[in-house]
Structure 1
Amino acid sequence: MKTTGNTIFISGGSAGIGLAIAKKLSEAGNKIIINGRSEERLQSALKELDNAVAIQGDLSIAADRTRIAGELKANYPNVNIIINNAGAAFMNDLSDIKNNAAEKAYQEINTNYISVIDFTTLTLPLLLKQEEAAIVNVSSIAVFRSNKYLPTYSASKAALHSYTQGLRDTFATNEKLNVYEIYPPLVNTEFSAEIGGVNGIAPSEVADELFAALEKNQFEIPVGDAKKIHALVDAITEQVNN
């Protein structure tokens, strides 16, 4: 996949991993379109980017997804890479009956899984018109093993992982469209502050790994500690398939 001269849409692009990816790809000579819920944060992020614009909107809301996909089609018809990075995560104590675990899980599933499916469906016609295109889904090391702190978040990312594999298989014979999945471990961002993000890796490390993977068409992109787990899972999968 070429890493320059693309037009790239990044959800959750005003901070954290999304902004780090936007910076990396902007510096490489790509047109960047960042998306986020806060117009103020988007405008602040644009000051750190070259050749970039912003589209405000909440992709967890169906009407916003439709509007944003329409804006891309009308104003940025050359969009050829969609990076689904926006996410939701909650500490969810399943032992506390007053915790409203189901509502938290609903928000995570809606944002991390359902909205990605819908937005991808809405933007596929645009991507399929391009000479070279890609969908990048940002999942998590959590797809491999849940825990008591983020059980429903992990489940939502596992669902995204399964969907991404199916999407990749669906377009396996289409040489113009590639489907990537990146598995970050704990990353030091505001998003992960509640779960000890200060101990995580820098967002720029995730961006660097994605950039390298795009260059060599590496569709599975484990980062940091996720590499060890991914290698084990990969080996087991290969044995089963053989």
Structure 2
Amino acid sequence: MNTSGNTIFISGGSAGIGLAIAKKLSAAGNKIIINGRNEARLQNALKDLNNTIAIPGDLADKTDRTRIVKELNEKHPEVNIIINNAGIAFLNDLTDPTANSSEIAAQEMNTNYIAVIDFTELMLKQLLQHKNAAIINITSIAAFRGNPYGPTYAASKAALHNYTEGLRDKLAENDNLNVFEVFPPLVNTEFSAAIGGANGIPPAEVADELLVALAKNQFEVPVGESKKYYTAIQEAFIKINN
């Protein structure tokens, strides 16, 4: 698909992977709309971006989500790409009776999964009006395998992965709207600091891989260490079906 001349909405676009993607796509000649909950952080991010505006709000909140969609429909009908990047994660010890694991899981599932489904559904009509449109979901290496540190976060990303595959299959006959999925490994961001993010790859590497994938219409985009898991799963799937 075209990698320039688009109008792109990026949730969680004021920091980390979202900001890196915004910088890369802005430099490639696209108009960018970044979203986030923190107004000050959004304004700070705008200083490093060209041809970019910000829409503050919490997409995990139904009221905010509806307002943001209304604003995009009415003021920015040219939006033809949405990048569902915003997410939350918590350390969650499933063996700790005081951890409130189910409440943590509910928050993660709402932000990382339910909100994405609802926002995407609300934006579908607008996206389908364009000939070069895309939905890009940022999942995680955690979608392939859970871990003892953030098991409920991993579960929410696995759910998003399966939803993304189902949505892609449903839209398979529509040549104008493509569904992409990006699988970052551990990335060095504030978001991942609690689980050793300093040892991760730079967020710019995720953005670079995404831009290449968009140009090639490569709908599944494993990055870094995620490529090992992705390749192994694909090989096993082929073996089972032959």
Give the TM interval when normalised to the shorter protein.
Answer: over 0.9
2 CA distance for matches of 1:241 and 1:136? 28
Deviation, structure 1 residue 132: 1.0
Question: Are 1:193 and 2:193 counterparts?
Answer: yes
Deviation, structure 1 residue 131: 1.2
Deviation, structure 1 residue 241: 3.1
Residue aligning to 1:115: 115
2 CA distance for matches of 1:46 and 1:240? 48
| Deviation sequence 1:24-59 (CA, Å, 0-9, x none) | 000000000000001100000000000000000000
2 CA distance for matches of 1:90 and 1:212? 31
Amino acid at match of 1:34: I
Q: TM-score, normalised by structure 2?
A: 0.99
1 CA distance for matches of 2:179 and 2:90? 27
Residue aligning to 2:67: 67
Question: Are 1:30 and 2:60 counterparts?
Answer: no
Amino acid at match of 2:178: N
Q: Percent identity?
A: 66
Residue aligning to 1:157: 157
Q: TM-score, normalised by structure 1?
A: 0.99
Residue aligning to 2:15: 15
Amino acid at match of 1:112: N
2 CA distance for matches of 1:78 and 1:131? 11
CA RMSD of aligned residues (A): 0.6
2 CA distance for matches of 1:238 and 1:43? 47
1 CA distance for matches of 2:77 and 2:143? 33
2 CA distance for matches of 1:124 and 1:238? 32
Matches within 5 A, 1:50-129: 50-129=50-129
1 CA distance for matches of 2:140 and 2:116? 15
Residue aligning to 2:175: 175
Deviation, structure 1 residue 237: 1.4
Deviation, structure 1 residue 114: 0.1
Unaligned runs of 5+ in 1: none
Unaligned runs of 5+ in 2: none
Describe the SS at the equivalent of 1:180. Answer: strand
2 CA distance for matches of 1:238 and 1:80? 34
Residue aligning to 2:145: 145
Deviation, structure 1 residue 164: 0.2
Deviation, structure 1 residue 238: 1.9
2 CA distance for matches of 1:108 and 1:13? 18
Residue aligning to 2:205: 205
1 CA distance for matches of 2:28 and 2:48? 14
Deviation, structure 1 residue 81: 0.4
Deviation, structure 1 residue 240: 2.6
Deviation, structure 1 residue 239: 2.3
Residue aligning to 1:226: 226
Give aligned pairs, total: 242
Question: Are 1:40 and 2:40 counterparts?
Answer: yes
Amino acid at match of 1:95: T
